[in-house]
Structure 1
Amino acid sequence: MPKITPRNHKLSDHDFLKLSKVESKPRARGKLLILHQLSQNKSLEGIGKDFGYHPQSIGIIRKNYWLYGLKSIYDKPGRGRKSHLAEEDIEAFKQAIVEAQQQRGGGRLTATDIARIAKEDFNAAYTPKGIYGLLDRIGMSWVSARSKHPRVDPEAISQFKKLHKPCQAGHP
């Protein structure tokens, strides 16, 4: 005898097509489109053929929606490789990068410098190449503005700009 799944959530509760148009995560968007097809009373076999899934997988998506609602379309934490930097250290890490750049006085931090901060201050081992992915995940850009030399003289720059006016178009 087949196991009966309690249906706490109905396929008529949401407009899945509308939700899929504003969903940013591709896997969740695909599940919303599958749920839309299910709400239109399409067969598991037909949906599976259209989306390239086995019908049993479509049934699992439906069952998970019945049990858990919209939160079932998102991947559970634990998928993929874990970050070496603890979640609670992210804000402090960002602040440490900003402070290190300000203390530098000129030039810019390199990936090697940031990897050293991660290792020494947060016990998070990253290679310089791996730092770029970490910075992207925490919302920081590795691209910085043009750096200033530590011995730059703003007064000399100002004087130079006053004395040497830029050429007008067409005039030497």
Structure 2
Amino acid sequence: MLTDEVLQQLQRYNFDLLARQELNGQRRMRYIALAHLKDGKNFTEVASALRVTRHAVMRWLKWFASGGVDRLAGVPHYWSTQRLPKVQEEAFRQAVEQLQASRGGGRVHGEDIRQLLAEQFAVTYSLNGVYDLLKRLDMAWITARSMSPHADPAKQAAFQKNFSSR
């Protein structure tokens, strides 16, 4: 169950005090679980007392053994490192506007913005994530077509001239 090395690691900390000082509920529960383990309870007894699975208790102990008390904060999710930093939001907004302006006509699609994020900002978003980001930044993702790529301004002017004379 618990190796001597892990037991020695547990003895270095006062988990009861850490739990009382902790504001985060998840981390507090993990401290309490380790306090019970330190007192000699087994995984099943700790899990029953805290109303969690014994596998959760074993996972918390594994985290503690591999990374100490700081590791009990949890697992960083892969998407949390993929988000566009707040300091780059204005640069992103300008890049999207520049992308729209550089088009000779047509719309900027979500996939275009997704590629822009990957190439210029080194972040990976899903298509829904792109639309959520645009919404969070108060940017309209549906834009009117500025000019059709097949438009002929001379023919349009001639049409307007003939149409308005009637």
Which of the five TM-score ranges fits, normalised by the shorter chain?
A: 0.3 to 0.5
Name the structure where helix makes up a greater proportion of residues.
Answer: 2
Q: Please, what TM-score do these two structures have when normalized by structure 1? A: 0.45
Higher relative contact order (CA 8 A, sep 6+): 1
> Which of these two proteins has the greater Rg computed from alpha carbons?
2
